[in-house]
Every structure is written in C-alpha cells, then in structure tokens.
Amino acid sequence: MSPDLKVIERLAEEISQARPSRLVLIHGGGSFGHPLAKRYSIKEGYKNNASQVLGFSETHQAMLALNKFVVDALIHCNIPAVAVSPSSSVVTKSDRIRTMMMEPIIKLLQIGFVPVLYGDAVLDFDRGFTILSGDQLTAYLATRLHANRIIIGFDEDGLHTKDPKEDSSSPLIKHITVEELKKMTKRIEKPKATDVTGGMLGKIIELIPAIENGIPALIVNATKPKRVYQALRGDSVIGTVIERG
C-alpha cells in the first residue's frame, strides 16, 4: 500500500491541462487491492470462510484508500471528480457484470462531473463475491456510454509479444486489429507480478468486446510525462492502437 503520489499528481495535472469532455476514469488495485485479494482468495468466491468475509472488507477498504489519493489529486487540479464504488453499484454472475446502476454515472456526466471508478471486490450471484477488474469495468462502461475511445495507462509503452522488462529487444506493436489481437493473446506471457486480474493479458482480453463495438483503444505509458496528456488531446503519441479492423 505505497502509492506513487508524484505520478498520481502529475497525471491529474495532465488530465486538467488536456481538458477532455465527458471523461470517466477507472483505476486498478496496484499494491493496495491485489495482495489482499490474493491472500483471501476473493476472486475464487465465498467458501463459507469467515476470514474471507473479513478479507472482502479489507480489500474494498484498501481500494477506497487508493481511490481517495486519486480523487484528492484530481480535485486539487480543479477536476470535479466523484468516486463511484463498484461494490455498491455492481453485481456479477460467474465473474461477469450482470447488473450495474448506470443512472448515477450518466447523471454525473450530464452535469459535468468526472466519475472515478476502480477495480473492486463485488458481490456475485453464483460465487457470493469475486473481484471485478477495472479492465472489465472499462469495456462495460465504454460500450454502454458509447465512448469515442478508450485510453489505457500502463507502465510500458504499449503492447509487446514479450515482457519488455524481461526482453528489451521485444518491439512495440504500434497498431493491431481485434483478429490479430485474439491470435496474439495465446502467445503473450502471463505476468509474474501479483495481479489477480491478469496484467496486460487480462487487459487486452477484456477490451475486445468494446473494440468489436467500434470503440478503438490506445495503450500508453502513464509513467512517462505527457503521454496521457497527448493521448487525451488526440495528438500523436507513442503507444499501441487497437481497432476493430
């Protein structure tokens, strides 16, 4: 649970400078949500285990703590950010979103607020509870809100067939179609870090339904200054564009 406040604050400034209209922000769990979710096996569902119930609460509370850092940074940059808790608005069925209260998000956008959601521990019709990834949430909301595009901020320049941290010679894929992406997901290496939602592999698989609905996605390196700003402005930026084809 160690947030990189400098990066969070810089990204808030870049969003403020870019001034995008009708923006929805979704962040992941990082060192806050993933270790706890793994420790208590939240994604595997409720196993009639009292410690899991407490673990669900701890995981959700950790995400609230991280979300506060993000929302505070946005408000400090004069962005009217409002936290929206997935655990209170989403119920999944076998890990997939089954119901979600969309009215508050739609109303927030109409007034000019920036809803801020996140990966979270949520209730599940079949499993009791599970982990809802920010990536699945992104694709779901983008489709139902008829988004113009999706921007994914990652810690790499974009999509590679191999982890560039392990193989620096792995080239950046600047453009890829859904069909090419589906073939590539079979070859992409799974993450070594503690990520209960699948790392880059999980992200790109979750994005496919939205992209197939005609919503292009752009993966950029959020740790590099101005990349997110350029992406939000529609400027040329280093990254990976994923389109329906």
Residue 192 lies in domain: 149-245
Predicted TM-score of the model (pTM):
0.90
CB-side neighbour CA atoms (13 Å) of 233: 13
Residue 30 and residue 140 in one domain: yes
Residue 3 and residue 116 in one domain: yes
Residue 109 and residue 137 in one domain: yes
Length of the chain: 245
For 220-239, what is the HEC assignment? Answer: EECCCCCHHHHHHHCCCCCC
Residue 131 and residue 158 in one domain: no
Task: Classify the phi-psi angles of 19: left when phi > 0, otherwise alpha if psi is within -120 to 50, otherwise beta.
Answer: left
Total number of domains constituting the chain: 2
pLDDT for 45-104, tens place per residue? 999 999 999 999 999 999 999 999 999 999 999 999 999 999 999 999 999 999 999 999
Residue 164 and residue 240 in one domain: yes
Residue 8 and residue 123 in one domain: yes
Residue 219 belongs to a domain with what CATH number? Answer: 3.40.1160.10
Show which of 123, 147, 171 is a domain's final residue. Answer: 147
* pLDDT score, position 76: 98
Residue 6 and residue 107 in one domain: yes
Show which of 122, 147, 172 is a domain's final residue. Answer: 147
Show which of 147, 169, 184 is a domain's final residue. Answer: 147
pLDDT for 118-146, tens place per residue? 999 999 999 999 999 999 999 999 999 99
